[in-house]
């Protein structure tokens, strides 16, 4: 490879899918950091009485800016772009992936520029982000079409890509309604990690694509504030609760796989269990938000916000599981495993401390707004703030372990041979 291939221009306009995936893996944490700082400002607005730190209009604007960027620029493309392009892409249409990357860059610039100007252009950011993800999905779907066999991850990409294209056709790119679609590739990653860690045999493997398809279809169902705005009959409203059955069946299949064949322990499996644990908590929140009697009390409260953040935790843990699982493919060489399961345990605990108090405050009737009943939930807000600090520490440990694995010393010959076979 020539020296010109390592220039900034060569990287930014790379037609190589693995390079584009690496660009996403480098750029998305930076966007996530900006969104996290916005979330800290939003959290500060909750801790103080209304108007002391943020005016109501500024709070709503910052919250909308945070939600748009974190969902459309980080949550949804994290696994398809960051992992899918590196693992599944086989150069059938690299220019589609490059077009998606360029659109993502423009969407990120529009998103950040809007905050600097104080007038976020969320509509333009949403359209650009949606088109970027559509191009990425099309590139991956063409790549999967040429594969001789598909695992859970490949199926999840095809099904979530189909659902995303249907979203574009029907309109509606609000962050909250489209966020659950990120769970489909996340559960596909978890299923593949559990399968490979258990010797390659997944219990009920023929049903897994159907379960993932049912989960993708269920993301179109109304819940939370959207359900509150509809007037559904009791039978139709009660049937919404059935949407929890496909992910529950998938988790049961993964547990059966582990019980039948004890898996090899490692950080990838630890993060996969973290993702499953957060998904179970998120599923409990969905049951309450999809049930008409309880949803009337919980919609548009802190409870709904907590549910969205737990879904984000599911995707984040699955993303880290996938990066550890396919680190050799991403790095393009055999790499050592320098991480432990400590970061996954810290992430699970810190995520619950940071966001579970919002379930409680929302259930007690706290609306989602600046300084809403700030004096009534002081202890829970303090726990949430401490959990946020713990979350930063957990992510720092995870990043340190991941960098040590990707840039560590070369493994022993036997381990290198096994890793090269895994890359193939």
Q: What's the pTM value of the predicted model, to 2 decimals?
A: 0.88
Residue 48 pLDDT level (bands cut at 50, 70, 90): low
pLDDT in tens, 57-73: 666 777 788 888 899 99
pLDDT in tens, 206-227: 899 999 999 999 888 776 566 6
Residue 398 three-state SS: helix
pLDDT at 415 over 60: no
Q: What is the pLDDT of residue 47?
A: 60
In the chain, % helix, strand, coil (3-state, to 5) comes to 80, 0, 20
Average pLDDT over residues 94-109: 89
Residue 80 pLDDT level (bands cut at 50, 70, 90): very high
Q: Which among 114, 141, 109, 111 is positioned nearest to 126, based on CA atoms?
A: 111
Average pLDDT over residues 112-139: 87
In this structure, the number of other CB atoms found within 10 A of the CB of residue 397 comes to: 18
Q: What is the pLDDT of residue 352?
A: 95
**364 burial level (CB within 10 Å; 0-12, 13-18, 19+):** middle
Tokens of 179: 């966020």
Q: Looking at 35-39, 129-133, 176-180, which range is the least confident one?
A: 35-39
CA distance 315 to 41: 23
Residue 423 pLDDT level (bands cut at 50, 70, 90): very low
Average pLDDT over residues 78-85: 92
CA distance 103 to 330: 22
CA distance 166 to 357: 35
pLDDT at 98 over 50: yes
What percent of the chain has pLDDT above 90?
A: 33
pLDDT at 311 over 60: yes
CB of 383 closer than 8 Å to CB of 357? yes
In this structure, the number of other CB atoms found within 10 A of the CB of residue 142 comes to: 17
CA distance 254 to 249: 9
Q: Which among 323, 320, 337, 325 is positioned nearest to 408, based on CA atoms?
A: 337
Q: Give the Å distances, CA to CA, from 223 to 122, 160, 234.
A: 23, 19, 14
Q: Looking at 99-103, 288-292, 321-325, which range is the least confident one?
A: 288-292
Tokens of 209: 């694509």
Q: What is the pLDDT of residue 202?
A: 87
- Tokens 């779907």 correspond to 141
Residue 4 pLDDT level (bands cut at 50, 70, 90): very low
pLDDT at 117 over 60: yes
CA distance 16 to 39: 34
């Amino acid at each position: 490879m020539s020296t010109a291939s390592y220039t900034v221009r060569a990287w930014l306009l790379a037609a190589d899918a693995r390079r584009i995936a690496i660009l996403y893996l480098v750029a998305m944490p930076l966007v996530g950091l900006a969104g996290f700082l916005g979330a800290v400002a939003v959290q500060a607005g909750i801790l103080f009485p209304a108007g002391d730190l943020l005016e109501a209009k500024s709070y709503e604007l910052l919250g909308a800016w945070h939600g748009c960027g974190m969902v459309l620029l980080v949550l949804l493309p994290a696994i398809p772009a960051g992992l899918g392009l590196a693992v599944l892409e086989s150069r059938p249409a690299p220019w589609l992936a490059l077009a998606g990357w360029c659109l993502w860059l423009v969407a990120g610039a529009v998103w950040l520029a809007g905050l600097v100007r104080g007038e976020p252009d969320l509509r333009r950011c949403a359209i650009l982000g949606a088109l970027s993800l559509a191009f990425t999905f099309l590139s991956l779907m063409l790549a999967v079409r040429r594969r001789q066999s598909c695992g859970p991850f490949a199926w999840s990409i095809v099904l979530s890509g189909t659902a995303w294209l249907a979203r574009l056709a029907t309109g509606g790119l609000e962050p909250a309604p489209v966020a659950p679609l990120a769970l489909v590739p996340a559960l596909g990653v978890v299923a593949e990690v559990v399968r490979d860690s258990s010797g390659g045999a997944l219990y009920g493997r023929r049903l897994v694509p159907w379960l993932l398809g049912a989960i993708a279809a269920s993301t179109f169902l109304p819940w939370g504030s959207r359900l509150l705005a509809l007037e559904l009959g009791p039978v139709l409203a009660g049937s919404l609760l059935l949407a929890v059955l496909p992910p529950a069946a998938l988790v049961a299949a993964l547990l059966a796989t582990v019980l039948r064949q004890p898996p090899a322990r490692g950080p990838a499996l630890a993060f996969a269990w973290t993702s499953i644990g957060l998904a179970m908590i998120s599923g409990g929140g969905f049951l309450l938000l999809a049930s008409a009697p309880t949803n009337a009390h919980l919609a548009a409260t802190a409870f709904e916000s907590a549910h969205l953040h737990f879904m984000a935790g599911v995707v984040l843990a699955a993303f880290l599981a996938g990066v550890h699982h396919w680190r050799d493919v991403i790095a393009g060489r055999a790499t050592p495993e320098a991480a432990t399961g400590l970061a996954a345990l810290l992430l699970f605990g810190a995520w619950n401390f940071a966001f579970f108090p919002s379930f409680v405050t929302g259930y007690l009737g706290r609306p989602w707004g600046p300084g809403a009943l700030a004096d009534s939930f002081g202890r829970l807000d303090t726990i949430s703030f401490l959990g946020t600090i713990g979350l930063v520490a957990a992510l720092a440990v995870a990043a340190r372990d991941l960098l040590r694995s990707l840039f560590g010393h070369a493994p022993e010959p036997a381990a290198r041979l096994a890793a090269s076979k895994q890359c193939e």
